[in-house]
Homo-oligomer: A and B are copies of this chain.
Amino acid sequence: ASRQYAHNTRVVPKITVKGIRAEGTPATINPSIRKNEEKVVDNVPIAELSKPITPYCRCWRSQTFPLCDGSHVKHNKATGDNVGPLLLKK
């Protein structure tokens, strides 16, 4: 008699938890900023910019996010990456 497998099949539920990597899952790029928000979007009303140059963070490591505080330097050194800020110029 042929053996039947169908009723023995166990469905392993796929659990997705924000910030926890399953094996083979590509990495997040934001480890800690505003993780309570679904998507971190920031608005800059450009008329309110006061300095000649204002650097905005794109490395997700700044302690003054959304502004750049220079933390990209440490990230680049630690990982070999080459990220840097967006400079808004008046």
How many copies the complex holds: the figure is 2
Report the minimum CB–CB distance from A47 to chain B (whole Å): 7
Query: Taking beta carbons and an 8 Å cutoff, which residues of A are in contact with B?
Result: 16-21, 25-30, 34-35, 37-47, 49, 56-60, 66, 72, 75-76, 78-90
Say what secondary structure dominates the interface of chain A. loop
Q: Which residues of B contact A66 (CB under 8 A)?
A: 86
Contact assessment for B80 and A41 in the assembled complex, using a CB-CB cutoff below 8 Å: no
Contact assessment for A83 and B39 in the assembled complex, using a CB-CB cutoff below 8 Å: yes
Contact assessment for A78 and B47 in the assembled complex, using a CB-CB cutoff below 8 Å: no
Contact assessment for B89 and A30 in the assembled complex, using a CB-CB cutoff below 8 Å: no
Give bound CA distance, A45 to B90, whole Å: 6
